């Protein structure tokens, strides 16, 4: 179909419709905000500042740690991860 022809639905799509960003590419706004946060962290003292926050605000610090940990855990096929089960049972005397 020529770009000047009208699609059977009667609506004409723009030339780049459906192209979008490449898979995995980051939104420009998100990238800029991350850069600003890292710059502010560096200006606040970097790792020393985070250490102080770990002591002063442990709940907020642990929330931050949870956000930056990877969502998936990949193990080494030659040294598989060991999974242990901790079970708690209440037994009546």
User: According to DSSP H, which parts of the chain are helical?
Assistant: 28-44, 47-56, 58-68
pLDDT in tens, the chain (93 residues): 555 665 566 677 666 666 777 777 777 788 898 899 999 999 999 999 999 999 999 999 999 888 888 766 677 778 777 777 888 888 887
Which pLDDT belongs to residue 41? 92
Separation CA 34–CA 88 (nearest Å): 42
| pLDDT reported for residue 10 | 64
Cα end-to-end distance, the chain, whole Å: 81
Domain extents for the chain?
Answer: 28-67
In this prediction, residue 89 carries a pLDDT of 83
Structure tokens that stand for 46 in this block: 């970097």
């Amino acid at each position: 179909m020529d770009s000047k022809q009208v699609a059977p639905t009667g609506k004409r799509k723009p030339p780049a419709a459906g192209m979008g960003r490449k898979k995995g590419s980051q939104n420009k706004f998100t990238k800029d905000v991350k850069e600003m946060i890292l710059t502010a962290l560096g200006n606040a003292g970097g790792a020393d500042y985070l250490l102080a926050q770990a002591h002063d605000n442990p709940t907020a610090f642990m929330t931050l740690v949870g956000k930056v940990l990877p969502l998936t855990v990949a193990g080494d096929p030659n040294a598989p991860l060991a999974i242990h089960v901790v079970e708690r049972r209440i037994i009546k005397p």
